[in-house]
Amino acid sequence: MSEATTGKGRARGIDRIIGLCDCLHRVGRPVSVRELVELTQAPRSSVYEQVATLLEAGWLEERTDGLLFFGRKMHYFGTDYLRHDDFIARARRVLVELTAEHAETSQLCMLEGDKYVVALSEMPPRPFAISSEVGMATPIPWTASGRVLLEGYDAAALHAFVPEEDFILPSGERIQPADFAADISRAASQGYAVTRGLVDGFACCIAVPIRDLRGKVKATICFTVGNDIDDQRLAMLVEVLSEAGRRLSEVSVSGAR
């Protein structure tokens, strides 16, 4: 992802900005200028200058505690994106519907490079819904959606595509690529994937594919529910998701991207 957008040596302002925002997103919390300098590896004086520019533009905001984070403008731009990407806009309506109907967190997930990201997330208005952060890059093997998104990948292809370290779960345990490949082909044949307590212990994820015109999986929608779910409800949710997945697949005609 972030290629040479950070690092020392003279760089274009625009690349520095991109690197800066990527870092901010990656850490996912307000940071001090000092921290920003460390994260981006950019020259101190440059960072000060860029930050000043971005603050003035409303791309960043300085909070009362002096820390920096994204500003209003980013929200506006992001909202513009959501409105104008046909596929995303349609998916969002479906997620809202699913979450309203079943009171579970529903998400739209996609690949970004060799990582999995949550593109959209709708949480039910209940106190302890399980969430995960929009846009955060996560190793593919950690997720149910990953098993759907990598449809068609065999062990060799996996080895080439997925970074070695991504097979190691937060717990330290290692997923065997062969097992992962088996999960993938099972997902392909049954049309959905379920993981239980993979990264979390208490979470259970159910993912189904959304396909483009050529039948390739381009995204997934998933429910994230408590691991204590019973089989009957799980089957019901699978059914509901599959239906939604089909709906989002077919009309994906000329929409955006």
Q: Virtual CA dihedral for 117, 122, 126, 127, nearest 10 degrees?
A: 30
Find which of DNA, a second copy, none residue 8 binds, CB within 5 to 8 Å per kind.
Answer: DNA
Shortest CB 196 distance to a second copy, Å: 27
Is 17 a binding residue for a second copy by CB under 8 A? The answer is yes
Is 101 a binding residue for a second copy by CB under 8 A? The answer is no
Is 156 a binding residue for a second copy by CB under 8 A? The answer is no
Shortest CB 193 distance to a second copy, Å: 23
Among 95, 119, 181, 203, binds a second copy (CB under 8 A): 119
Number of residues near DNA (by CB under 7 A): 21
Is 189 a binding residue for DNA by CB under 7 A? The answer is no
CB closer to DNA, 21 vs 205? 21
CB closer to a second copy, 8 vs 63? 63
Is 28 a binding residue for a second copy by CB under 8 A? The answer is yes
Binding mask 61-100 for DNA (x = CB under 7 A): -----x----------------------------------
Complete DSSP assignment for the chain = ---SSSSSS---HHHHHHHHHHHHHHHTS-B-HHHHHHHHT--HHHHHHHHHHHHHHTSEEE-TTS-EEE-HHHHHHHHHHHHH-HHHHHHHHHHHHHHHHH-SEEEEEEEETTEEEEEEEE--SSTT-----TT--EEGGGSHHHHHHTTT--HHHHHHHS-GGGGB-TTS-B--HHHHHHHHHHHHHHT-EEEESSSSSSEEEEEEEEE-TTS-EEEEEEEEEETT--HHHHHHHHHHHHHHHHHHHHT-SSS--
Is 33 a binding residue for DNA by CB under 7 A? The answer is yes
Positions touching a second copy (CB under 8 A) are 5, 12-18, 21-22, 24-25, 28-30, 50, 53-54, 57-59, 61-64, 69-85, 88, 96, 100, 112, 117, 119, 125, 133-135, 254-257
